């Protein structure tokens, strides 16, 4: 499953999507309204993403049926970015987390 994490982020927005750099090394690309196959090396998964109620949301489904849900939203007048993450397999939630990033 594709789960990137880091202590610092750099987000670049273009007309067609977001590029999120984690700790200045790994860059994750999210296309607005995407529904496509994404891959990292030999691992492939189906990803859909887009805007929903002021949040950017992404769902990634791997070949074993695990679903990675991510949402990104601004809080505190845009000074804090909240990332919510959950991983489910079947009807069981295997992992959930929240990350807060302060604008600097």
Q: Assess whether pLDDT exceeds 50 at residue 1.
A: no
pLDDT at site 28: 80
Partner residues linked to 91 by β-bridges: none
Closest CA to 80 of 13, 9, 2: 9
- Contacts of 2 by beta carbon, 8 Å cutoff, 6+ apart: 28, 38, 40, 43, 45, 60, 68
pLDDT by residue (tens digit) across 48-100?
999 899 999 999 998 888 899 999 999 999 999 999 999 999 899 999 999 99
Report the predicted TM-score, pTM, of the whole model to 2 decimal places.
Answer: 0.80
**Per-residue pLDDT at 10:** 86
């Amino acid at each position: 499953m594709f789960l990137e994490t880091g202590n610092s982020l750099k987000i670049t927005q273009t007309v067609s999507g977001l590029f999120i750099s984690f700790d200045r090394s790994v860059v994750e690309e999210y296309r607005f309204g995407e529904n496509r196959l994404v891959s990292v090396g030999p691992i492939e998964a189906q990803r859909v993403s887009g805007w929903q109620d002021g949040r950017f949301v992404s769902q990634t489904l791997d070949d074993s049926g695990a679903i990675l849900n991510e949402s990104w939203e601004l809080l505190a007048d845009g000074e804090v970015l909240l990332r919510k993450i959950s991983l489910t397999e079947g009807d069981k939630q295997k992992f959930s987390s929240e990350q807060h990033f302060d604008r600097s």
